[in-house]
Amino acid sequence: MLRHLSPHPMAPKRVVVMGARGFVGDAIATRLEKDGVTVLRLTRRDIDLLEPEASERLAALLRPDDVFLAVSALAPCKTVDMLRDNITIALAMVKGAARVRLAQVVNISSDAIYADSTELLTERSVTAPDTLHGVMHLAREVMFKSEIKSPLAMLRPTLIYGAGDPHNSYGPNRFRRLATKGEPIVLFGGGEERRDHVLIDDVAELATRVIYCRSVGALNIATGIATSFRDIAEAVAKLSGRAVSIEETPRAGPMPHGGYRCFDPGACRLAFPDFLFVPLAEGLARAQRDEVLRPTGRRVQ
């Protein structure tokens, strides 16, 4: 749950975004800049977080009145070597941020930290990940909570989609690109598993609000609506305006999360009563349109 330290939303003097060339970091930085907020965009070219002196270099760039947004990660985390490197990256950010009394620290986490459940997930749900990606994000959260004395917020988005995503993960982004090329959309099994999907614009908007309200605590970023991958594939194929086939392939293993993973968005409604998530149909159409203006590959972390 979130608690707002600022009774009235107020833009900070400066936001330092570590991982500003990534999909999420760039989106949040761009949203802040639209309001005229000063943003220091840091990338691997500025600070290689795998280098031994990274924390010192980061601390030297931070000011006491800054908001620090921790986005950098090797994601998705699929191997133990990636997990090791991600811990090193997180350690550099934590140690660097801990050296300065910042206005706020915001860590971009993930819903992957939660254990599977047939119940709606909330910010208080059990955190027991069974994937390396989830373990990585949970470890990051524990590290930040253990060392950071500044106001701290954890944002846990579910599956993110939108134009410009370089990861091309299974779901709306991959489906859209296949459809654009007129290639078949290939589903795992029948695509019957149901998941929540959130538009990158909504992630950026909520992160901005958390910064403006100087919020502390945790917040899931999820719409509360679970949709099957088949339904998404059919919607994407229709939006493409092309004759796109949808094919099924045998599963190599069980459906992830037992085929269902959905959220109770009550905490988000409580924190930001006037905020409305972009409906999936509208978000898919927006991503289809924006992909032409902002092609895949622009954001490379």
Task: Give the tens place of pLDDT for each residue, 112-140.
Answer: 999 999 999 999 999 999 999 999 999 99
Q: Name the token pair of 153.
A: 């917020």
Instruction: Examine residue 301 and state whether it is found in any structural domain, yes or no.
Output: no
Q: Which residue has the tokens 């990660």?
A: 73
Whether residue 301 is predicted with pLDDT greater than 70 in this model: the reply is no
Instruction: Examine residue 300 and state whether it is found in any structural domain, yes or no.
Output: no
Query: Closest by alpha carbon to 117, among 266, 255, 267, 257?
Result: 257
- The number of residues in the chain equals 301
CA distances to 67, 119, 126, 178 from 151, in Å? 9, 31, 23, 43
Q: What confidence category does residue 1 fall into, taking pLDDT thresholds of 50, 70 and 90?
A: confident
Query: Closest by alpha carbon to 68, among 206, 219, 217, 211?
Result: 211
Query: How many other CB atoms are there within 10 angstroms of residue 189's CB atom?
Result: 16
Instruction: Examine residue 299 and state whether it is found in any structural domain, yes or no.
Output: no
Q: What is the pTM of this model?
A: 0.95
- Structural domain harbouring 289: 2-293
Residue 155 is part of a domain; what is its CATH number? 3.40.50.720
Instruction: Examine residue 219 and state whether it is found in any structural domain, yes or no.
Output: yes
Query: Could you give the percent of the chain with pLDDT greater than 90?
Result: 89
Total domains, the chain: 1
- Mean pLDDT of the 142-158 span: 98
Instruction: Examine residue 298 and state whether it is found in any structural domain, yes or no.
Output: no
